[in-house]
Structure 1
Amino acid sequence: MNRELISSLVMARQDVENVEMIEIASPDEVMENENNLPTDLSLLSLRNTVLFPGIVIPVTVTRAKFIKMVKKAYRTDKTIGVIAQIRHTPNEPTPEDLYKVGTIATILKMIVLPDGNVTVIIQGRRRFEVLQYNQTEPHLTASVRYIPDNFPSVRKKEVKALIQSLKEAAYKILSLNPEIPKDAQMAISNIDSPSFLTHFLSSNLNIEINEKQLLLETFDGSEQAHKLLEHMMKEIQVLEIKRDIQSKASLDIDQQQREYYLRQQIKVLQEELGLETPDQEVEKLRAKGAKKKWSKEANEHFNKELNKILRMNSMAPEYGVSLTYAETMIELPWNEYTKDNFDLKRAKKILDSDHSGLDKVKERIIEYLAVLKLRSDMKAPILCLYGPPGVGKTSLGKSIAKSLGRNYVRMALGGLHDEAEIRGHRKTYIGAMPGKVIQNLQKAKSSNPVFVLDEIDKVSRDFRGDPSSALLEVLDPEQNSSFKDNYLEVDYDLSKVLFIATANSLDTIQPPLRDRMEIIEISGYTVEEKIEIAKKHLVPKQLEQHGIKVKDLRIDDKAIQKVIEGYTRESGVRRLEQQIGTLVRKIAKAIAMQEEYPKLVKAEHVEKMLGAPVFDHDLYEGNETAGVVTGLAWTSVGGDILFIESSLSRGRGQLTLSGQLGDVMKESAVTALSYLKSHADEIGIDYRIFQHYDLHVHVPQGAVPKDGPSAGITMVTSMASIFTQRKLKQNLAMTGEITLRGKVLPVGGIKEKILAAKRAGIKEIVMCYKNRKDVEEVGAGYTEGLTFHYVDYVQEVLDIALLPEQVENAMKFILPDEKKEIQPVEML
């Protein structure tokens, strides 16, 4: 329903009265007076509306023929026929262009306009149906048949409910359309005639002309009212949807206007206070970007992001995200490099002063510097320093950076389990940030730092991804020149970065990742090297941390040696630093409490300050017991010695293993026993003992898991000793694996094992002949005081390890079936 609602009642009684007073018949008078209705009518066609009985509407007539007809009718009986056009035509409408049903109307008032056109105010009276057209010139005339209104009695409940529904629907439409005056509701409430109410609402309903014509052609009043109610309910739904849309749009516009107003106020305040406005901030970033040495792709991407920021609402959450992204791009050192120092003598001096030993590693670094000096475009290699904790792998990275003159950054990978920590998050996520590689380059402020990837063997994986696989691109010299961080979205060149990874174990590193790195093994230190490290680095560091001047306290070399041998057992120096820290704290306490303290800490002071020694210097337990052999083992914290014990008891030849051994060591024990059985005569063992005695092999410290291919010859020697009851050579240790045919196989971790042997007071070591090259690489300083026996077969091991004499109180073997004592077989 639209503004035409008042054209029938309000406008007819107000606008027309402004011209002069006219008389308007009531709806009932119009529709009840049929005596003076002519059967032949002059027809006026309407283009955009349908006239219903009782309705008053103004009509402007522009065609000359119709103007003459209207004037003639106004001068005579003031009656014309009004009928709607089916279609608009540029020429005069023909009978085919008109509907068959129209409304006879009375001209209430005629107004001649200055341009010659005529406006007439007409009131519908009765519907008619065209029977035939009589003439077309000068205007249409037709013979008609009048159709009476057929509306049921108002007294019926159904009719009352229908009329009430029509009025309520009309009130709803009026409430949803604020453009319609409130007087319209009063006009509707004053209508008592159901026929006129139906015609009135049909005339003013906002529907198409053809739909209004269908209502006009519905002669049954009840049916017409039902159709009208359907149209009104649809109109209500449309208006409700329109209201919701307008309400939401109005709220959005109001919020935007409010934000715009506030932004303008903020902008004015910032200008008054001398602060940067968002536009100024973006332009400053653009100026900084113009000075960057980045690629064309990065420059275009950066400026595109700035243009996006300028179009963005500064209060929107995306504004801060985009601004942070642009600032991150600006802060990265795109193609900015520090100048390398190629003074190789200086570099070697720095490495030697910072680290004692580690000759192989330092030699590799000097080689890298030499090649880089000759070829400035050499891609940085990926070095992996592999060794036990505390040997200086991480601190070596600092020394390399110092010798090269490069910046230094370190990234801890221990426990890393999210791939996004390497590649970054996509910046569409809340809280997105670049990966740790890009973040550390941002801190380094250069694109060629020494980048330490600490504990690369401790990278874990879960449902969030596999960081080890993400590191493949970072550590591949053929790929990292175009490394793409998910947050950064543009390629970044990592090829000039000197990556140095550290690891305690190679077993947990993925093979593809390990293949991309150059593995450099760092073994432990000798006692002499530890003393030098303590004097040069550990003691001064602890004195500084505890606020003690160097002149106020000194620690003697013998004292340091006692701490090393009695209170630490490690390949590195981490535990040594802790014990030195304990010594220094004791002195600091004495100084703070003004007590007496030794300014020179000697060996005899160590036990008073640290308590009884934790470890015995000489762990070797002698050779008085048969079947106890000292072996050498490699662990993740360096080398260690272990004892393998064997014992025999009456039984049925069963083998028992204990000490929490792994599968490899269990296989070594089974192989060793099989070898002894097959070579019993050569070794001097009565073969009947294998059937009537059970063998138990045990490795002490059962709470510690043990595994690895290093205990083969140790186990076979222990078994041979218990079966023959022969003594073992004193101060002897061994390492190596065996085969069923008695071949001795080489093993790894030789340097760690040598250091472990020296710590335990071992004098002689037996190992495979193929391990001789490993011993030679270790260096004379590590092997001093040790004798090495290189063997190829088990029999050689037994010849070296087993002495001719038997142990005291040698075991006497008794065979149950013969009930007699069997003495051990004499030596061949």
Structure 2
Amino acid sequence: MSTEDENTYPALPLRDVVVYPHMVIPLFVGRDKSVKALDVAMEGNKEILLVAQKSASDDDPSIDDIYSVGTIANILQLLKLPDGTIKVLVEGAFRASVGEFLESENGFSVTASRLESAHKNEQELEVLSRAVVNQFEQYVKQSNKIPPEVITSLSGIDDVSRLADTMAAHMTIKMEEKQNILEMLSIEERLEYIMGLMSSEMDMFRVEKRIRGRVKSQMEKSQREYYLNEQMKAIQKELGEMEDAPNEIEDLANKIETLGMPKEAKEKATAELDKLKMMSPMSAEATVVRNYIDWLVSVPWKSRSRISRDLAKAKQILDEDHYGLEKVKERILEYLAVQNRVRKMKGPILCLVGPPGVGKTSLGKSIARATNRKFCRMSLGGVRDEAEIRGHRRTYIGSMPGRIIQSMAKVKKKNPLFLFDEIDKMAMDFRGDPASALLEVLDPEQNHTFADHYLEVDYDLSEVMFVTTA
């Protein structure tokens, strides 16, 4: 390194850019002091000191706001634009150390002395420069921001210092790092620093490429699925299978999302729907799965009737529907009054006993009307199969849920009045004991997790009001 005598140069502080020796770059100048500095340079020998600012937001930098090393450049061309700014084309000449900062009416000017690059071992420098050029070629291939022609231009540069500066100028690195390279006078140190920067940048490129590849594959998968679904719709429309009909799979998916199913039931329904998507619509298995999902979405999971708790109105409705039966009506009103107090369905179950035709079933309908519940009735006379209550497993052809779940799906409300008619006429045989199965339905400790063989998920019957007749 050798330092010549200090000379005074007009200075041009630069924002977010570092100019190296032998580098040709256009600059746009708009600040008054910078314009005056250019005018002074044009009047003289067209030499100007280009030095980077530490903060780009500073409009009026002082000596502390600029770096201590800059580049003396020659002005090649100067063009004044209509909006008052100046476009200037400059070529870096050599590094310079900033001395004293002089501020006058003619803009910025500094005293600066020339800095020369230095190297110790010629052979080591040759090996190092080849390694850096090879690595730079790999860097250009991995980076999309540097044109490949840069590599060709490097082969024509013999000066190693200029080679290092050219590579640094084309690299996408932070301004502080570019300034560090400008301040390094040892060529070996400069090349090693550039190699380190390139290695870390190439690691970043590899990670970025991996992330981009992962995102691209995810996008391609979703686009492919969308494209195939649209193709399928178009084919079905051509075959006349879909005359502007809504997409059945989408409808089922929307119902599963909006019905307010418990987590277990929702997971089961979603899994079955995914299975249905993969099946041929014409296969027998697809029909079984579709029927199962239809039953799951037709059962009320959240929808309830608004219960009427007005006992005076209930008494009026009971009197309207039936004449006499005072003791029975009084017991029913007592039962409703207790329910109003505890606000729960736990408790004894009403059983209306009497010969046929005395109004047991119609009393059940009156209770439903008095409490504003939906009414569903199930006759147990002659029922001897447990599957009537609990349903058949899906493995059987034509299997269905039990009569309890079927009735719930029919009334579409979670809290109806359920009348078991002729409960004493139930029988039992080799197919099972329906009376034992009915215990799970009526027992308030068990019926919040009623297990139907067909549904395969627990169903909550705890809000249903049960009335029996015998």
TM-score with structure 2 setting the length? 0.62
Q: Distance between the aligned counterparts of 2:70 and 2:49, measured in 1?
A: 7
Query: Is residue 2:77 matched to residue 1:100?
Result: no
Look up the match of 1:139: 107
Look up the match of 2:205: 239
1:404 aligned partner, one-letter code:
G
Contact 2:23 2:92 in 1 (8 A): yes
Distance 1:211 1:284, change over 3 A: closer
Q: Distance between the aligned counterparts of 2:237 and 2:387, measured in 1?
A: 43
Distance 1:456 1:41, change over 3 A: farther
Contact 2:384 2:432 in 1 (8 A): no
For the residue of structure 2 that corresponds to 1:163, the secondary structure is helix
- Given candidates 184, 192, 195, the residue that maps to 1:229 is 195
Q: Distance between the aligned counterparts of 1:444 and 1:327, measured in 2?
A: 13
Query: Is residue 2:17 matched to residue 1:49?
Result: yes
Look up the match of 2:402: 441
Q: 43-52 or 185-194, which moves further after superposition?
A: 185-194
Look up the match of 1:404: 381
Distance 1:333 1:227, change over 3 A: closer
What CA RMSD, in Å, does the superposition of the two structures yield over aligned residues? 5.0
Look up the match of 1:327: 294
For the residue of structure 2 that corresponds to 1:224, the secondary structure is helix
Query: Is residue 2:116 matched to residue 1:148?
Result: yes
Query: Is residue 2:36 matched to residue 1:68?
Result: yes
**Partner deviation per Cα, 1:78-124 (whole Å, 9 max, x = no partner):** 10001000113453222221111111111122222232321112121
Contact 1:409 1:440 in 2 (8 A): no
Gaps of 5+ in 1: 1-30, 290-296, 336-367, 379-400, 414-420, 425-432, 458-470, 499-828
Q: Distance between the aligned counterparts of 1:315 and 1:45, measured in 2?
A: 69
Q: Distance between the aligned counterparts of 1:151 and 1:315, measured in 2?
A: 74
2:460 aligned partner, one-letter code:
D
Distance 1:169 1:495, change over 3 A: farther
Matches within 5 A, 1:337-416: 370=353, 404=381, 408-410=385-387
Q: Distance between the aligned counterparts of 1:451 and 1:240, measured in 2?
A: 75
Matches within 5 A, 1:433-512: 440-441=401-402, 445-446=406-407, 474=440, 477-483=443-449, 488=457, 491-492=460-461
Contact 2:68 2:97 in 1 (8 A): yes
Task: Tell me the CA shift for residue 167 of structure 1.
Answer: 1.4
2:15 aligned partner, one-letter code:
R
Task: Tell me the CA shift for residue 496 of structure 1.
Answer: 6.3
Kindly tell me the number of residue pairs found equivalent between the two proteins.
365
For the residue of structure 1 that corresponds to 2:208, the secondary structure is helix
Q: Distance between the aligned counterparts of 1:153 and 1:203, measured in 2?
A: 25
Distance 1:181 1:284, change over 3 A: closer
Task: Tell me the CA shift for residue 279 of structure 1.
Answer: 3.8
Contact 1:42 1:140 in 2 (8 A): yes
Q: Distance between the aligned counterparts of 1:490 and 1:333, measured in 2?
A: 10
2:296 aligned partner, one-letter code:
M
Q: 94-103 or 179-188, which moves further after superposition?
A: 179-188
Contact 1:129 1:147 in 2 (8 A): yes
1:329 aligned partner, one-letter code:
L
Distance 1:81 1:286, change over 3 A: closer
Distance 1:330 1:204, change over 3 A: closer
Look up the match of 2:156: 190
For the residue of structure 2 that corresponds to 1:45, the secondary structure is strand
For the residue of structure 2 that corresponds to 1:228, the secondary structure is helix
Contact 2:54 2:66 in 1 (8 A): yes
Matches within 5 A, 1:557-572: none
Contact 1:481 1:495 in 2 (8 A): no
Look up the match of 1:178: 144
Look up the match of 2:332: none
Gaps of 5+ in 2: 280-285, 304-350, 365-377, 409-419
Look up the match of 2:313: none
For the residue of structure 2 that corresponds to 1:262, the secondary structure is helix
Task: Tell me the CA shift for residue 40 of structure 1.
Answer: 1.0
Q: Distance between the aligned counterparts of 2:245 and 2:405, measured in 1?
A: 29
Q: Distance between the aligned counterparts of 1:260 and 1:404, measured in 2?
A: 54
Distance 1:326 1:138, change over 3 A: farther
Q: Distance between the aligned counterparts of 1:53 and 1:138, measured in 2?
A: 26
Distance 1:278 1:258, change over 3 A: farther
Matches within 5 A, 1:544-563: none
For the residue of structure 2 that corresponds to 1:219, the secondary structure is coil
Bigger relative contact order, structure 1 or 2, given CA contacts below 8 A and separation 6+? 2
Task: Tell me the CA shift for residue 46 of structure 1.
Answer: 0.6
Distance 1:60 1:333, change over 3 A: closer
1:163 aligned partner, one-letter code:
S
Matches within 5 A, 1:638-649: none
Q: Distance between the aligned counterparts of 2:352 and 2:383, measured in 1?
A: 12
Task: Tell me the CA shift for residue 171 of structure 1.
Answer: 1.3
For the residue of structure 2 that corresponds to 1:225, the secondary structure is helix
Matches within 5 A, 1:743-782: none
Task: Tell me the CA shift for residue 273 of structure 1.
Answer: 2.6
**Partner deviation per Cα, 1:757-812 (whole Å, 9 max, x = no partner):** xxxxxxxxxxxxxxxxxxxxxxxxxxxxxxxxxxxxxxxxxxxxxxxxxxxxxxxx
Task: Tell me the CA shift for residue 235 of structure 1.
Answer: 0.5
**Partner deviation per Cα, 1:388-416 (whole Å, 9 max, x = no partner):** xxxxxxxxxxxxx99716584449x9xxx
Distance 1:136 1:109, change over 3 A: same
Look up the match of 1:121: 89
Q: Distance between the aligned counterparts of 2:21 and 2:208, measured in 1?
A: 31
Matches within 5 A, 1:594-633: none
Distance 1:145 1:284, change over 3 A: closer
2:82 aligned partner, one-letter code:
P
For the residue of structure 2 that corresponds to 1:133, the secondary structure is strand
For the residue of structure 2 that corresponds to 1:404, the secondary structure is coil
**Looking at CA atoms only, which structure, 1 or 2, has the larger radius of gyration?**
1
Q: Distance between the aligned counterparts of 2:300 and 2:223, measured in 1?
A: 41
Q: Distance between the aligned counterparts of 1:266 and 1:139, measured in 2?
A: 72
Identity of aligned residues (%): 23
For the residue of structure 1 that corresponds to 2:402, the secondary structure is helix
Q: Distance between the aligned counterparts of 1:316 and 1:90, measured in 2?
A: 62
